[in-house]
Structure 1
Amino acid sequence: MVFGLRASVAGVAVTLISANQVMALTWREEPSLRPLFEKAGVDGTFVLLDERDRAWRGTNRQRAEQRFSPASTFKIPNSLIALSLGVVANVDQLIPYTGDPNPFMREWLEPMGMRGAIRVSNVPLYQELARRIGLARMQAAIQRLHYGNEQIGSNVTTFWLRGPLAISAIEQTQFLAGLAKRTLPFPAAAQQQVAEITRIDGGPGWSLHAKTGWQNAPGAGVGWWVGWVKRGDQVYPFALNIAMRGSADAPKREQLGRESLRALKIIPKPNR
């Protein structure tokens, strides 16, 4: 389990505090990454937690340490909390649509389980899960996870979209490291189910788990792509965020994330 982060933009070393060790990690600026963001024409950061090298490897450290609304990347902990508390029996239990009759995406109107909902980023379904969890239990779970600033305010259906919850890219990698290794303080079976529904790609010896987020969609805001790569017995949690001007920048989240993972030789190049 990852308990906390101590970091300073001016300093060299940051500290990862785990259940059984205190590991000093350094920031390693990767020169191959910045040109990717410049070519895409966006301001952003990418960070990879490489525990073997005891380093965070990435670009734009100052932004990597800055907290933003998690937006739909919060569907990952929301899924874990809902499963752990038994508000849903499993990721395939159908949940009726309870949102606006004219939603942002028409796919949201159909009853679906979390497996389908996380793929289409069904905001109303996850708001329904949050209502079932309730404010007190949600607050306790967020504190138990030490997720970002741990602040959810008084509205259980909007705190990850409009604030006050906020998290940095570095903190995202800490949370995801625990989930990838099934060491968070929640049932291992629930963590396994969340890992299954976030798997989006893979091949011989590796798998990619990821989720997008877009604060203030469909307008200008912060775009996320976070997750981890499992390669053999190693896990590589990562987080990307960019300053998005609108819908034209939406595809750049995953595109830049995959390009960054390839540049760091974490995932293979696609077959032509």
Structure 2
Amino acid sequence: MISSFVFMLLVGAVGFTFQAYAQESGKETASKEKLNIKKLNVNEFFQDHEGAFILRDVKNRTTFVYNQERANERVTPESTFKIPNALIGLQVKAVRDEYDVKRWDGIKRQFDTWNHDHTLGSAMRDSAIWYYQDMARDIGEQPMKQWIQKISYGNQDISGGIDQFWLNSSLKISPLEEVDFMESLYKEELPFDKSVMKTVKRMMIQEEGDDYTLYGKTGTRLSDLGLGWFVGFIKVGEHPYVFVTNINGSGTEAKNITLNILKKYHILSKN
């Protein structure tokens, strides 16, 4: 379990002045609670990629931000949208559960891991876009639009087509909005059934250690590998943190940057 001493090391290592912060994105946010915000000393991890990183200490209600200007910029969510897509699909019963199988149509796609039958869970882990596109069509445009509005997801614009709108298209969300969404999912405060949120969180597990569980999802703009995300949360003992990384690069690179930052601040073991 992470101790208050380790947390103070984290705060001390950052070494910048606090300032009051409340996110505004068109509409007032659901919570008007003031959050503390700090700049993170993580420049070393962004030498090769322009990007933003946000770490929210959920327990201590503190948000650390690297590159606040970019953290407020809305861009397409790419495959990180599999998280709300799965939540909506389960809620409206477009799929039964995480084991619901969709048969591969035989079309060879970009990655070999996509070219076989998938379940909701395996398609999350392998980021098989075709499964989630098929599920989005099953959800339907009107229910999808209603749920995107209900959870206030980014600019809520799905005009780019029911199976394309999150892929370098009309739907856009900022890293700070992603942090709010991830925190609400972690706390299971989104307007979905508890069982639905628990299922999606379970599908997001990336790594488990003796005293921590890491949950996350990558996203990459596949047309040029010029936009990458890694979003999620980590629970260390009883101490949860939400994180979002957004870079000019791939989702895999965003994930590696995230893990290295978490290791630097002793939130994730270096072993």
* C-alpha contact 1:27 1:61 (8 A) present in aligned 2: no
Give the aligned partner of residue 104 of structure 2. Answer: 97
8 A contact 1:207–1:229 mirrored in 2: yes
The aligned counterpart of 1:256 is 257
* In 1: Cα distance, 2:141 partner to 2:110 partner: 25
Given the alignment, which residue of 103, 120, 125 partners 2:126?
120
The structural deviation recorded for 1:155 is: 0.8
CA–CA distance in 2 between the matches of 1:181 and 1:66? 25
Structure 1 Cα separation of the partners of residues 187 and 253 of structure 2? 28
Q: Is 1:107 the equivalent of 2:113?
A: yes
**Residue number among 221, 243, 251 corresponding to 1:238 in the alignment:** 243
Shift of 1:78: 0.5
What's 1:22 paired with? 32
The letter for the 2-side match of 1:35 is E
Output one character per residue of 1:111-160: Cα deviation in whole Å (capped at 9) or x when no partner.
11011111111011100000000010001111111111111115100000
Mean Cα deviation higher: 60-69 or 43-52:
43-52
CA distance in 1, matches of 2:265, 2:38: 12
Partner of residue 142 from structure 1, selected from 136, 142, 148 = 148
The amino acid that maps onto 1:54 is: R
User: Residues of 1 paired with 2:23 and 2:228: CA distance?
Assistant: 26
Q: Secondary structure at the match of 1:162?
A: coil
Q: Quick check: 1:44 aligned with 2:51?
A: yes
How far apart, in 1, do the equivalents of 2:37 and 2:133 lie? 36
Alpha-carbon deviations, 1:229-251, whole Å to 9, x = none?
Answer: 1223332111001112xxxx554
Instruction: State the identity as a percent.
Output: 30
SS at match of 1:57: strand
Matched, 1:57 2:56: no
CA–CA separation in structure 1 for the residues paired with 2:181 and 2:85: 13
Q: Which moved more, 1:137-146 or 1:46-55?
A: 46-55
**How many residues are aligned here?**
250
Distance 2:39 2:158 in 1: 32
Instruction: Give the match for residue 164 of structure 1.
Output: 170
Alpha-carbon contact 1:159-1:165 (below 8 Å) kept: yes
Check whether the contact 1:92–1:114 (CA below 8 A) recurs between aligned residues. yes
Question: Corresponding residue for 2:86?
Answer: 79
Instruction: Please list every run of 5 or more consecutive structure 1 residues that lacks an aligned counterpart in the other structure.
Output: 1-10
With normalisation by structure 2, the TM-score equals 0.86
C-alpha contact 2:99 2:119 (8 A) present in aligned 1 = yes
Q: Distance in 1 between matches of 2:252 and 2:199?
A: 26
| Amino acid in the other structure paired with 2:22 | V
TM-score of the aligned structures, taking structure 1 as reference length: 0.86
Aligned to 1:180: 186
CA contact (8 A) 1:93 1:114 kept: yes
Partners of 1:12 and 1:176 in 2: CA distance: 21
